[in-house]
Structure 1
């Protein structure tokens, strides 16, 4: 399905590449993204947004991966705004959306990065396949008490608003809107191999909330938590796609100018074959990501399968491409100055974030049992 903004995609990609290129290895300034309108791209007109779709967001996510940029933007748009858009309209929800568009709020949904939805809509641990309990709300008089924990929550240390998926005592699913720093809530940073992103463990010990802080999902929303995980996984696949594209371009450019035995190394057959393999990986990955984006835009019933196919293949492909890029760059590829290590580390983390290839393939295989 073609987006209403399709004619602006090339311009959006060009502007994004230019903006991210200015930051280099430094963190991208959040006000710059706000001024560019990125924070309001997928929000409705009533919140001063552009009312675009996740298809346009995917372009930005790919460019962020291409630049290996340091920014909480992927977590904010993929999980934060994604969760807010699934909720029933309310004063609290609308206020957070407006603040996000204005750049004064950074909402992040508390989704464990080492989880992947299993068949049937349950949330299974990617490493063991076991069922992981969600956060729970217990009503005590006029208040709710929130308890639970989640590991490797992307950009949790940077969030100004935490959106915690939880079930009320009667089983009603929703989102608890929590401010970091409240009594009983802890966000502990967790180190990872990729220095361009931050993760945290979110733990709630009987956090007291008002009834207004628990927001229900809009009626008729099928498996909202599953939708959020699919959205998060697809966002990571877009990032992996950008990483792979950057490494293909960098390697082709390098092999054209690097000479050995009086000729460019790109003229050697072995190097040509290696670059061709990288391009094949990138091409297949792009096709799978595009198919998953189309399925999500159309609300197709098999969107979960399309996302698992894109995430499992693209995650592995990006690691292969980055590893091949490092090898084809020769000795300089192993130096700190080359910057290729940043892409290899980012691809390595992307491969396991929101479900490893094995976990997603297990999910795909389960559909045929």
Structure 2
């Protein structure tokens, strides 16, 4: 993620660490502060008050969020929320939502199920979705549509000011329902998980009446729009896992320098050196796979989705292994609440499962290679 913009990326990373470092472990990162720093508009076009950057720049911020184990809805908004809005045709409401998101007054959440995985049938499972099947259905009525269905473990659903719900219409096409969370018949239930740095929720819709203007198709030039959103969400989680792994490696190396046993720093012992070297190798591979996924156009093509699946599967496992090794190398203090390592291990464990476990993603990769 360096290349010709390496200097800018380094500066972006430094500013992000400073901003995230101002918040404590127990409080969410201030949303107005992120908006004021330009995070919410980084990938949004200049015509909508954004910076017109790419997802590569957003990925740097997502990695820093993971490095800080920060409590923020930014990954959900940047990856899937803004991603969903930009896949819709321009109109007054959509453009207003984009500008409000950049300004920090709107928090759009795309309702993507955290345990969603590509269906075994691939493209045939649901035409035009890249194998991703939404949990919501639209029914035609005399006045418009009704929305029914559910999605569980939706990241940051409880914090949403606007929901973007992918749903199948009666013709079998994917539409995006733009609706307020307090709409009658719509219910959001918090879903506590072991990772206290995250907020997940279940979204249920029971025959929610919708005006036709609330039901939007993807842009005509977009194919497999739902798969694009899934891949962006999975890539954001992979970035978070890489950030976790980097933080745990740095913390472990620093601890090995200052912790002594038998009048020597423990970092001088061969077993500790080898363990830290293994952590570095895994982190380096995860970074390379992530960079390759970011370098491919996010168009839900087989090549793009395969690169995302490989990066997400490897980074998810590497994050858990490196955080677990960090806890072990910190010795007894690593298992205490005060060390804070438990936050990273729990977060890495949730990352491994969100938007496709390594086993699920590897099955999809294998199916892709076995197709004639």
Partner SS state of residue 147, structure 1: strand
| Per-residue Cα deviation, 1:68-91 (whole angstroms, up to 9, x for no partner) | 000000001111001011111112
Report deviation, 1:342. 0.2
Count of aligned pairs between the two proteins: 364
Say yes or no: does 1:167 pair with 2:168.
yes
User: Unaligned stretches of 5+ in structure 1?
Assistant: 125-129
- In 2: Cα distance, 1:287 partner to 1:308 partner: 14
Structural mapping, 1:44-55, within 5 Å: 44-55=45-56
- In 1: Cα distance, 2:367 partner to 2:111 partner: 26
- In 2: Cα distance, 1:24 partner to 1:141 partner: 52
Provide the residue aligned with 1:127 in structure 2: none
Contact 1:161 1:179 in 2 (8 A): yes
Provide the residue aligned with 1:260 in structure 2: 261
Contact 2:252 2:326 in 1 (8 A): yes
Provide the residue aligned with 1:13 in structure 2: 13
Structure 1 pair 14/122, CA: closer, same or farther in 2 (3 Å)? farther
Q: TM-score, length-normalised on structure 2?
A: 0.94
Structural mapping, 1:1-369, within 5 Å: 7-25=7-25, 26-118=27-119, 120-121=122-123, 134-296=135-297, 301-369=302-370
Contact 1:187 1:202 in 2 (8 A): yes
- In 2: Cα distance, 1:137 partner to 1:234 partner: 28
Report deviation, 1:222. 1.6
Contact 1:116 1:123 in 2 (8 A): no
User: Unaligned stretches of 5+ in structure 2?
Assistant: none
Structure 1 pair 167/2, CA: closer, same or farther in 2 (3 Å)? farther
- In 1: Cα distance, 2:66 partner to 2:192 partner: 20
Contact 2:107 2:160 in 1 (8 A): yes
Report deviation, 1:298. 8.2
Structure 1 pair 61/183, CA: closer, same or farther in 2 (3 Å)? same
When the two chains are superposed, the root-mean-square deviation of aligned CA atoms in Å is: 1.9
- In 2: Cα distance, 1:337 partner to 1:122 partner: 50
Structure 1 pair 348/299, CA: closer, same or farther in 2 (3 Å)? closer
Stretch of structure 1 that moved more, 135-144 or 337-346: 135-144
Stretch of structure 1 that moved more, 55-64 or 19-28: 19-28
Structure 1 pair 13/122, CA: closer, same or farther in 2 (3 Å)? farther
Contact 2:134 2:167 in 1 (8 A): no
- In 2: Cα distance, 1:284 partner to 1:237 partner: 12
